[in-house]
Amino acid sequence: EDVFVIQSTSFPANDHLMELLICVDALRRSSARRITAVMPYFGYARQDRKTLPRTPISAKLVANLITHSGTGRMLTVDLHAGQIQGFFDIPTDNLFAAPVFERDIKHRFEGQDLVVVSPDVGGVVRARN
């Protein structure tokens, strides 16, 4: 069977990540033909590069854990940085929710003045669009 496991790694990220890994392992041992992990929120995405010496690149480590657990494909939503998609050694698709939100917000708040803000520099381009 083709199986889709939907698991966000929001707080508490470590607990949710372990639930995903254990579930994928159980599915693999149960002879699932193809396992796709759907992760609407990738909790370690902001740890995508070294900011100081001797610090981990946790996003890559998590990508390795997910791959080695038996996941055959990843589906993510709005990764913090595009390069994270390349951290996975399995096919990975990153979907963008902004077009859906944009249409809905324009419809609901038509004619009203709105301001879109970003929590960090990396999101400024998305906020401007």
Q: Residues 38-56: pLDDT tens digits?
A: 999 998 877 777 888 998 8
Burial of 3 (0-12, 13-18, 19+ CB in 10 A): middle
Q: For residues 47 and 110, state if they share a domain.
A: no
* C-alpha R_g of the chain: 17
- When divided into structural domains, the chain yields a total of 2
Per-residue confidence (pLDDT) for residue 24, from 0 to 100 = 98
Q: What pTM was estimated for this model as a whole? A: 0.81
Q: Are residues 78 and 129 in the same domain?
A: no
More confident residue, 112 or 121: 112
101 and 87 inside one domain: no
Instruction: Let me know whether 81 and 109 are in one domain.
Output: no
Pair (20, 10) in one structural domain: yes
Same domain, 90 and 101: no
Structural domain that includes position 104: 97-129
